[in-house]
Amino acid sequence: MSEFAKVLKDVRLSQETFLSQSKLAEKLGCDHSYISRLEDGSRLPSREFLVRMTMNLEMSTVVQNRLFTSAGFSPLVPIGEANFEIMHRLDKALQNASLVVLKSSITFLELIAVTLEASAEEH
């Protein structure tokens, strides 16, 4: 699997996006088989396709640059290599922190629901 294929699949299945290949294809105006070929590494996208993708999906500059560079293009927003690595690590940390906050919120809401149920049973 090519580096671009891995990055594309990560973007498609990310917390922000989470789309099937068909839904992504629909959103980007292409056939789902094209997305499949991109993800299995048998095709590489055009720069125009990547621009369309970044315009239609919510993603950070770091992720946009990863898509472009993994497909063999220059970054959409040039940043120094050291800064790119820092931004990539920061982006991953923020994704992980968001997931932790989300899980904590769900646990808190479940606790409230149990408390309310117990209170309702008492009355």
Residue found under tokens 């917390």: 15
pLDDT score recorded for residue 21: 95
Query: In percent, how much of the chain has pLDDT > 90?
Result: 45
d(CA 48, CA 82) in angstroms, rounded, equals: 27
Could you give the CA distance from residue 8 to residue 68 in angstroms, rounded to a whole number? 10
pLDDT tens readout for residues 15-45: 777 999 999 999 999 999 999 999 999 999 9
Neighbours of 120 (CB within 10 A): 8
CA separation for the pair 55, 49 (Å, rounded): 10
pLDDT in tens, 56-109: 998 888 889 899 999 999 887 766 555 666 767 777 777 777 767 777 777 878
CA distance 121 to 100: 32
